[in-house]
């Protein structure tokens, strides 16, 4: 069985204060690799210690469990990157303050009866689609107005939060799908990648087929490949045998063909 060993090494002085420390993962691929320590004190003090104690802790985990822990850690990192959710009204207030005194740069976005006031330069620097709207004498450029009728107010708010503050509120599966779709439409590539990574890290038996269809519709090969690999996992084998998958094959024959080809390719290796 493939195993992963978590190793923790510390060197303490006579006062039980840690002078050197190192934590790392050991596998069969790096078992002979040298270990480098970061010094926390001066070399002179370290050398002059009369007594040093070395402690080494090793925890052995099977590889499959290690992968599960890694996935949980990735999800935790994703969640830590999200700012607390703010209401649409609070976002508008923030934008109004930022826009104060910059009227020549103001663009109004109309979304399903709601309105956002934003910087034209902010839209154009984050989206090639928005930038194209203001390159020629378009109605958007002439009126400094953008009408959006196929995306929810909440999703537009997430897009603007990402543009201005570099993050979104904490994503759910549906919110990630909605923001991903909007980010793809307006070519906000960093936001699309962020949502794609979230979807990959949160694939489940219940969502994988919907995510596969989403990836195919938006030409996202990385997301598509990840969903197909998930389907090929032994733990997800019952999906292939379900009635839902039979309906999927009928409605998405080309995607079903991709899954079959992927299976044959891996079988022949």
pLDDT digits (tens, 9 = 90+) for 204-218: 989 999 999 999 999
pLDDT band at 185 (very low <50, low <70, confident <90, very high): very high
| Length of the chain counted residue by residue | 269
Mean pLDDT, all residues of the chain: 79
Indicate the domain borders of the chain.
4-61, 101-201, 203-268
The per-type count for the chain, helices as H runs and strands as E runs, is 14, 6
Any idea what DSSP says for residue 48? Answer: T
For the stretch 92-121, pLDDT in tens is 888 888 888 888 899 999 999 999 999 999
Beta bridge partners of 108: 117, 145
pLDDT at residue number 68: 54
Are the C-beta atoms of residues 156 and 118 closer than 8 Å to each other? no
Tokens representing 66?
């290690």
pLDDT at residue number 108: 96
Residue 73, pLDDT above cutoff 60: no
Residue 261, pLDDT above cutoff 70: yes
pTM, to two decimals: 0.65
- According to DSSP, the β-strands at 106-111 and 145-148 are parallel
Question: Domain 203-268 falls in which CATH fold?
Answer: 1.25.40
CATH superfamily ID and name for 101-201? Potassium Channel Kv1.1; Chain A (3.30.710.10)
């Amino acid at each position: 069985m493939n195993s992963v060993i978590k190793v923790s090494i510390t060197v303490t002085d006579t006062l039980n204060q840690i002078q050197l420390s190192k934590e790392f993962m050991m596998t069969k691929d790096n078992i002979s690799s040298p270990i480098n320590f970061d010094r926390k004190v001066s070399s002179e003090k370290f050398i002059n210690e009369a007594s040093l104690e070395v402690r080494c802790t090793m925890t052995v985990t099977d590889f499959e469990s290690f992968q599960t822990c890694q996935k949980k850690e990735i999800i935790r990192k994703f969640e830590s990157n999200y700012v607390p959710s703010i209401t649409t009204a609070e976002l508008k207030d923030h934008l109004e303050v930022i826009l104060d005194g910059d009227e020549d740069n103001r663009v109004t976005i109309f979304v399903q009866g709601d309105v956002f006031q934003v910087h034209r330069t902010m839209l154009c620097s984050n989206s090639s689609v928005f930038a194209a709207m203001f390159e020629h004498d378009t109605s958007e450029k002439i009126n400094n107005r953008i009408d959006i009728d196929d995306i929810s107010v909440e999703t537009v708010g997430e897009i603007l939060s990402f543009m201005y503050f570099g993050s979104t509120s904490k994503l759910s599966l549906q919110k990630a799908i909605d923001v991903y779709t909007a980010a793809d439409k307006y070519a906000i590539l960093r936001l699309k990648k962020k949502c794609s990574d979230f979807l990959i890290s949160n694939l489940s038996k219940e969502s994988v087929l919907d995510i596969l269809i989403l990836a195919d519709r938006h030409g996202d090969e990385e997301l598509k490949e990840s969903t197909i690999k998930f389907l090929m996992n032994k733990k997800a084998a019952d999906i292939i045998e379900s009635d839902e998958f039979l309906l999927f094959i009928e409605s998405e024959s080309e995607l079903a063909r991709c899954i079959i080809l992927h299976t044959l390719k891996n079988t022949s290796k």
